[in-house]
Amino acid sequence: MENQRIAKISAHLYPSNSQVEDNSGLRKENCRAKGGAPGFKVAILGAAGGIGQPLALLMKINPLVSVLHLYDVVNTPGVTADIGHMDTGAVVRGFLGQAQLESALSGMDLVIIPAGVPRKPGMTRDDLFNINAGIVRTLCEGIARSCPRAIVNLISNPVNSTVPIAAEVFKKAGTYDPKRLLGVTTLDVVRANTFVAEVLGLDPREVNVPVVGGHSGVTILPLLSQVKPPSSFTQQEIEYLTDRIQNGGTEVVEAKAGAGSATLSMAYAAVKFADACLRGLRGDAGVVECAFVDSKVTELPFFASKVQLGRNGAEEVYQLGPLNEYERVGLEKAKKELAASIQKGISFVRK
């Protein structure tokens, strides 16, 4: 019933998914456009949300994007109308509700997923599992049907479990390509760069901190011994920075006091990562970012580390490099928690 109502509203709002208004009498097919500009086709699932809206805005500005599909179960007509008026290259189309998921996904090169509920103070990311696991499963089933070769950037929490869920869905459908599924941990790197730069008195744009493991509490493992430019830290600085990076998400959740979690810095991080994926797809050399991927770096089936992005997604997953004693202890803690979260995701689909 609800789906029918949404489909009806949507058909009215998007008669041909044209950017040209019907009420002028001028229809898309009567315009002089010769087809899309060169570039990649990108879909955002959860595009009307706190992350989705600024992410859509930033992707509309990205010169590598020719077509931008905005999908959500609410509010995409308004977001699409608004963003569609920006005089940048990408053509924007909106899709509302499950009935339009297939159209939203068909032909996409990159799918970014920030759909799902965010934390409130006092919650862990794992507390989101019960709601977000089902959302991610449904969306990934759609990807397996409509764009099985797309690169997938998964943002929805808990990332340590939603990436294994997505992998299981794709395996079930026979479409799993481990290189094409990437859990987005860029916000941890963005935060680490910011906090380390502050301590060292540097410009954050000059700093690069590898952050490995996963995306929750102790699974977020900054490798301060590998910071670029090479830097040394006191033990007090190491403990302060590790704690702040691991709890950066909670810092924002508490500051927002019930109004959600990081959205603006996350949209920035998501675009940074998506842009790297698109440059990789284009064939640029030397595009390296941290991401939570199918991995043989540890005994765990998934792990975040530096990956080389190319025409096929995560083409090379890099080893961790030399760790100091503090980082080795942190790695053991991270692996213990990660193992349980990964298994929880796998069991959700296999049960």
Ligand X SMILES: O=C(O)C[C@H](O)C(=O)O
Ligand Y SMILES: NC(=O)c1ccc[n+]([C@@H]2O[C@H](COP(=O)([O-])OP(=O)(O)OC[C@H]3O[C@@H](n4cnc5c(N)ncnc54)[C@H](O)[C@@H]3O)[C@@H](O)[C@H]2O)c1
Give residues in contact with ligand Y (CB under 6 A).
45-46, 48-52, 72-74, 114-119, 128, 132, 135, 138-139, 155-157, 159, 184, 187, 215, 260-263, 266
Residues forming beta bridges with residue 95, ordered by sequence position = 71
Beta bridge partners of 92: 68
Choose among ligand X, ligand Y, none what residue 334 binds, the Cβ cut-off being 5 to 8 Å by kind.
none
- 154: tokens are 């998964």
Peptide bond into 230 cis (omega under 30): no
Q: Smallest gap, in angstroms, from Cβ of residue 300 to ligand X? A: 19
Q: Is residue 187 close enough to count as binding ligand X by CB under 6 A?
A: yes
Of 119, 179, 244, 306, which lies in the binding site for ligand X, with binding defined by CB under 6 A?
Answer: 119
Which residue among 12, 69, 85, 215 is the active-site one? 215
Cα 87 to Cα 62, 84, 204, 314: the distances in Å are 12, 8, 31, 32
Instruction: Show the binding pattern over residues 191-230: x = contacts ligand X (CB under 6 A), - = does not.
Output: ------------------------x---------------
For the chain, what is the radius of gyration of the CA atoms? Answer: 20
Would you say 30 is a known binding-site residue?
no
Q: Closer to ligand Y by CB, 62 or 263: give it.
A: 263
For the bound state, the minimum distance from the C-beta of residue 233 to ligand Y, rounded and expressed in Å, comes to 24
- How many chain residues are in contact with ligand X, going by CB under 6 A? 12
92 — phi, psi (to 5°)? -110, 135
**244 lies in the binding site for ligand X (CB under 6 A):** no
Q: Is residue 155 a known part of a binding site?
A: yes
Please tell me whether residue 15 adopts helix, strand or coil conformation. Answer: coil
How many Cα neighbours within 13 Å face the side chain of 125? 25
- Residue 281: name the closest of 309, 250, 321 by CA: 309
Q: Which of 139, 113, 136, 112 shows the shortest CA–CA distance to 41?
A: 112
52 is in an annotated binding site: yes
- Longest Cα–Cα distance in the chain: 70
Q: Measure the CA–CA gap between 189 and 304, rounded to whole angstroms.
A: 11
Residue with tokens 């789906």: 3
Helix, strand or coil for residue 111? strand
Is 215 part of the annotated catalytic residue set?
Answer: yes
Q: Which of 39, 52 has the CB closer to ligand X? A: 52
Q: Taking CB within 5 to 8 Å according to partner kind, which of ligand X, ligand Y, none is near residue 345?
A: none
Residue 125 binds to ligand X (criterion: CB under 6 A): yes
Q: Which of the residues 54 through 113 are near ligand X (CB under 6 A)?
A: none
Q: Compare residues 200 and 309 and give the one whose CB is closer to ligand Y.
A: 309
CB burial of residue 173 (10 Å; 0-12, 13-18, 19+): middle
Q: Which amino acid is present at 9?
A: I
**Is 51 annotated among the ligand-binding residues?**
yes
Q: Which residues are annotated as a binding site for NAD(+)?
A: 46-52, 72, 132, 155-157, 266
Residues designated as active site:
215
Q: Which residues are annotated as a binding site?
A: 46-52, 72, 119, 125, 132, 155-157, 191, 266
For ligand X, the binding residues (CB under 6 A) are 118-119, 125, 157, 187, 215, 248-249, 252-253, 261-262
